[in-house]
Amino acid sequence: MMKSRLSSFLIVSMMQVTVWGQLDPKAQFESANAAYTSGDYAAAIAGYESIVLEHMHFESEFNLGNAHYKLAQWGPAILHYERAALLSPSNADVKTNLALANAKIKDRIESLPSNGILDIWERITAPGRYRFWARVMMLAWTLGFGALAWRIWVVRIENRRLLGSSATVLIAVGLAAMLMTRMASLRIESSKSAIVMATESAVRNEPGSNGMTLFMLHEGAKVTVIERNASHWKVQLANGNTGWISNEDLTEV
């Protein structure tokens, strides 16, 4: 009995220590901001990273980019600006800072002509639109099912038809918003972009060091991962060029 009580006490004590040891995310963010303001960018980076390890947080990703930029760490700066852009694709500050960071790197890669319809679809289903579409879905369904419920109590045929039609449209809008929410969620989960973190990395015609070097990439270059094996990833650049690169030199967005 004594052993059982002691065991229970130890478990409860451990749980309390764990809870007390966890900082409130808001307090962590404010602490990291204070470190950033004072010029202690390494401490700020550690603080912001502890937040983004737990959950997606736009402000922390953006500030991580800023802190790495201050330290002239272009690869990590671009990585976190790209992650911030995923969460808020239309944010002007992210676009500006990402352009400034990209201006610091060695590689200049021209993009292929864009597909207008595809670009529109990507903007609509951008990961940063997830919350917007989720709210639209909930609002449309609440109003739609509310209209259906109200229809039961309405006597006049004309009003019943109007409520029925309105409910149908609202529920359809909710279903469309649910699809958009799912697409945005999938893009968060399956982002295929990666940033070169090594100072310099060879892109070869086949995986492994025996392959012929096609070209070199440098820190901060952005690629799209199209195939993977244990040690190398096949990547594609914005200009359409492809090749294999060591996965140790890349970090996924």
CATH code at position 35 = 1.25.40.10
Average pLDDT (110-136) is 76
Q: Minimal CA–CA distance to 49: which of 251, 222, 223?
A: 251
Q: Give the burial string for 28-51 (b: 16+ CB within 10 Å, else e).
A: bbebbbebbeeeebebbbebbebb
Give the residue numbers spanning the domain of 32.
2-102
DSSP class of residue 108 equals: -
Whether residue 60 contacts residue 45, with contact meaning beta carbons closer than 8 Å, is answered with no
Whether residue 110 is contained in a domain is answered as: no
Q: Minimal CA–CA distance to 138: which of 89, 178, 186?
A: 178
Average pLDDT (115-127) is 73
Whether residue 223 contacts residue 193, with contact meaning beta carbons closer than 8 Å, is answered with yes
Whether residue 10 is contained in a domain is answered as: yes
226 and 184, same domain (yes or no): no
Whether residue 108 is contained in a domain is answered as: no
17 and 98, same domain (yes or no): yes
**For 98-112, how does the pLDDT look when each residue is reduced to its tens digit (9 = 90+)?**
999 999 999 988 876
Whether residue 130 is contained in a domain is answered as: yes
Whether residue 166 is contained in a domain is answered as: yes
Among the candidates 102, 136, 170, a domain finishes at 102
Estimate to the nearest angstrom the gap between the alpha carbon of 23 and the chain centroid: 23
88 and 157, same domain (yes or no): no
123 and 71, same domain (yes or no): no
Structural domain total, the chain: 3
Among the candidates 166, 189, 212, a domain finishes at 189
132 and 183, same domain (yes or no): yes
Estimate to the nearest angstrom the gap between the alpha carbon of 160 and the chain centroid: 44
10 and 96, same domain (yes or no): yes
52 and 23, same domain (yes or no): yes
Among the candidates 172, 189, 206, a domain finishes at 189
Average pLDDT over the chain, rounded to whole? 84
Whether residue 139 is contained in a domain is answered as: yes
Question: How many residues appear in the chain?
Answer: 253
User: Is the per-residue pLDDT at 21 higher than 70?
Assistant: no
85 and 140, same domain (yes or no): no
User: Is the per-residue pLDDT at 4 higher than 60?
Assistant: no
Predicted local distance difference test score (pLDDT) of residue 140 = 93
pTM exceeds 0.85 for this model: no
User: Is the per-residue pLDDT at 20 higher than 50?
Assistant: no
25 and 80, same domain (yes or no): yes
Paired tokens of 234: 């096949």
Predicted local distance difference test score (pLDDT) of residue 8 = 39
94 and 173, same domain (yes or no): no
Specify the residue for token string 């052993």: 3
Whether residue 62 is contained in a domain is answered as: yes
56 and 137, same domain (yes or no): no
User: Is the per-residue pLDDT at 223 higher than 50?
Assistant: yes
Distance in angstroms (rounded) separating the CA atoms of residues 234 and 223: 10
Whether residue 114 is contained in a domain is answered as: no
127 and 173, same domain (yes or no): yes
Segment among 83-87, 104-108, 153-157 with least mean pLDDT: 153-157
Paired tokens of 141: 């369904």
